């Protein structure tokens, strides 16, 4: 498969920067490291957009769902002109929600909701 080495190298770079360097203490026990890796992989596949997948998450590609970036957007600007057929929904206030996978602050889940 052409480019597979580059994909693997990019994954390991992400693993090092987003997980290992972000942990306050790297677990030395095999079970602790296994738990951290499982948590990171859950976040990596389900919540992290990937440039190589055109901004989609691995889960969106795997499950064949419409990517978040292609779903109807929320438009808070009252005088912003919307083109015809734009599925944007006008809202007055927005709420930025930040959650974390299993309480890990270095693995955020960010979402925007109508308030």
pLDDT in tens, 29-72: 999 999 999 999 999 999 999 988 898 999 999 999 998 888 88
Q: Compute the distance between CA of residue 30 and CA of residue 11 in angstroms, rounded to an integer.
A: 21
What 3-state DSSP class applies to 60? helix
* pLDDT at residue 103 in the model: 92
Q: Look up tokens 């808070």; give the residue.
A: 76
Average pLDDT of every residue of the chain:
89
First to last CA, the chain: 46
CB 19 within 8 A of CB 36: yes
pLDDT value of position 2: 65
Rounded Cα distance between 44 and 108, Å, is: 10
For the CA atoms of 46, 51, 52, 53, the dihedral, rounded to the nearest 10 degrees, stands at: 50
| Cα–Cα–Cα angle for 106, 3, 109, rounded to 5 degrees | 20
What's the pTM value of the predicted model, to 2 decimals? 0.79
């Amino acid at each position: 498969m052409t480019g597979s080495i580059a994909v693997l190298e990019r994954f390991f770079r992400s693993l090092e920067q987003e997980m290992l360097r972000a942990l306050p203490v790297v677990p030395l026990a095999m079970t602790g490291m296994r738990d951290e890796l499982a948590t990171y992989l859950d976040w990596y596949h389900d919540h992290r957009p990937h440039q190589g997948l055109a901004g989609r998450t691995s889960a969106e590609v795997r499950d064949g769902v419409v990517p978040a970036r292609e779903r109807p957007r929320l438009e808070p600007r009252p005088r912003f002109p919307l083109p015809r057929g734009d599925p944007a929904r006008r809202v007055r206030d927005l709420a930025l929600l930040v959650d974390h996978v299993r309480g890990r602050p270095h693995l955020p889940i960010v979402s925007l909701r109508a308030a």
